[in-house]
């Protein structure tokens, strides 16, 4: 069976952190009761839930009562966008997003438009970054919500969240930050009004998302009313999964700075070696390590189909993503690369698992070159 060393798709989902595994087993024993009940088992479950909420709040720079748990990051993004827009209809029906937001945010924007709202999409530069001045320039008196991811899931670009948040704050516009790729990896920050995240990105189990809404920010659920999670999410949470997610986040927070430095060095090597070893390769995203996520690198190979490349790498023992990495279909062209003006054909994203080593990177580079050569030969492009 393939080891974690060959798993290069951590931006989609990470292996379960050992701390999460231990916490999950304990919570299955002690956290099975309804935390809203007053009897002993319910009180024990409530303590577990409150502790998990406090841990997440501390990591994202919020208060425990601002944090709610959802079944996924997808649900969290939908609720954040549609809930803020629903609550601020009197202000207006204008939404601002960047062209490289996650597909779940863009899907919520389309639903908003179908309901009669308006969306302005801010362009990005060839490295995938928005210009804060350009973003501020499209904010209007009737803008109900702005949305900007903290780090891009495909090309690693870190966005100027602080500058955009300041511009929004001046105008009284709440900013939603999709922080799925940065929570648990980079230091927490407080430049947000609504924040969303996904536990499976930081070593927690699938089935847990985070929706945080700052106190004083107007938000109304687009779903039927329910008393759970401060009225933000219908139905009870899966307490064992939430406890495991919080345990993983606490554990990652302790090691995140050292892990980021180590992964950034591996990514820097990949960025340097890919164009040196393989012809007609474009490495995507920012050149400056300070402007990008530490664990992600994306590149495009000319004359090679990305899906074929991912399939052959899988046979060689490496799991990578291709196409639109936030789509269920690998055949969907990447809207992120299209927005950057980059090649959308033959793209691959490598995102390192926590235990990736220099040896893993070297093995990947050695495997990649003959695979690319073979695929180009099959397509008749080897002599171009």
Q: For residue 32, report the phi and psi dihedrals to the nearest 5 degrees.
A: -85, -20
Question: Nearest Cα to 154, choosing from 384, 371, 351?
Answer: 351
pLDDT band at 99 (very low <50, low <70, confident <90, very high): very high
Residues facing 176 on adjacent strands: 147, 194
How many C-beta atoms lie closer than 10 Å to residue 341's C-beta? 11
Q: For residue 127, report the phi and psi dihedrals to the nearest 5 degrees.
A: -95, 0
Instruction: Name the pTM for this structure.
Output: 0.93
pLDDT tens for 192-220 read 999 999 999 999 999 999 999 999 999 99
Catalytic residue among 19, 109, 309, 326: 326
Q: Where are the domains of the chain?
A: 4-12+255-378, 18-250
Q: Is it true that 4-12+255-378 and 18-250 share their CATH fold?
A: no
Question: Nearest Cα to 294, choosing from 168, 179, 157?
Answer: 157
Is residue 326 flagged as an active site residue? yes
The CATH number, out of the four listed (3.40.640.10, 3.40.50.800, 3.40.50.300, 1.10.1200.10), of the domain defined by the range 18-250: 3.40.640.10
The CATH number, out of the four listed (3.90.1200.10, 3.90.1150.10, 3.60.15.10, 3.20.20.70), of the domain defined by the range 4-12+255-378: 3.90.1150.10
Question: Nearest Cα to 66, choosing from 216, 200, 206?
Answer: 216
Q: Is the pLDDT of residue 4 over 90?
A: no
From start to end of 134-279, where are the E strands?
143-149, 175-178, 194-198, 209-213
Q: Is the pLDDT of residue 11 over 70?
A: yes
**In this predicted structure, what is the pLDDT of residue 382?**
61
pLDDT tens for 70-85 read 999 999 999 999 999 9
**In this predicted structure, what is the pLDDT of residue 229?**
77
């Amino acid at each position: 069976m393939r080891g974690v060393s060959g798993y290069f798709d951590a931006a989609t989902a990470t292996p379960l952190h050992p701390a999460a595994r231990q916490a999950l087993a304990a919570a299955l024993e002690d956290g099975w009761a309804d935390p809203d009940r007053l009897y002993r088992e319910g009180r024990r479950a409530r303590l577990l839930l409150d502790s998990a909420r406090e841990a997440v709040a501390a990591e994202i720079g919020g208060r425990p009562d601002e944090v709610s748990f959802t079944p996924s990051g997808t649900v969290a993004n939908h609720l954040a966008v549609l809930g803020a827009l629903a609550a601020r209809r009197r202000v207006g029906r204008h939404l601002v997003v960047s062209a490289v937001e996650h597909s779940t945010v863009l899907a919520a924007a389309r639903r908003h438009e179908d309901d009669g709202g308006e969306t302005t999409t801010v362009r990005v530069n060839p490295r995938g970054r928005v210009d804060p001045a350009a973003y501020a320039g499209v904010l209007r008196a009737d803008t109900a919500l702005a949305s900007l991811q903290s780090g891009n899931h495909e090309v690693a670009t870190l966005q100027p969240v602080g500058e955009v948040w300041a511009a929004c704050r001046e105008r009284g516009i709440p900013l939603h930050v999709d922080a799925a790729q940065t929570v648990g990896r980079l230091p927490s920050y407080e430049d947000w009004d609504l924040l969303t995240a996904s536990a499976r990105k930081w070593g927690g189990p699938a089935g847990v998302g985070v929706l945080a809404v700052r106190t004083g920010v107007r938000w109304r659920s687009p779903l039927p009313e329910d008393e759970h999670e401060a009225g933000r999410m219908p139905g009870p949470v899966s307490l064992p999964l939430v406890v495991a997610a919080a345990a993983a986040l606490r554990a990652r927070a302790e090691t995140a700075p050292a892990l980021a430095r180590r992964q950034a060095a591996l990514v820097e090597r990949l960025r340097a070696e890919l164009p040196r070893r393989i012809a007609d390769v474009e490495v995507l995203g920012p050149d400056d390590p300070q402007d990008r996520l530490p664990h992600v690198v994306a590149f495009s190979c000319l004359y090679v189909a990305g899906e074929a490349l991912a399939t052959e790498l899988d046979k060689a023992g490496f799991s990578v993503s291709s196409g639109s990495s936030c789509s269920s279909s690998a055949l969907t062209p990447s809207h992120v690369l299209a927005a950057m003006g980059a090649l959308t054909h033959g793209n691959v994203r490598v995102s390192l698992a926590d235990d990736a080593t220099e040896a893993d990177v070297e093995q990947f580079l050695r495997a990649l070159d003959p695979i690319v050569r073979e695929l180009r030969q099959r397509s008749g492009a080897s002599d171009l």
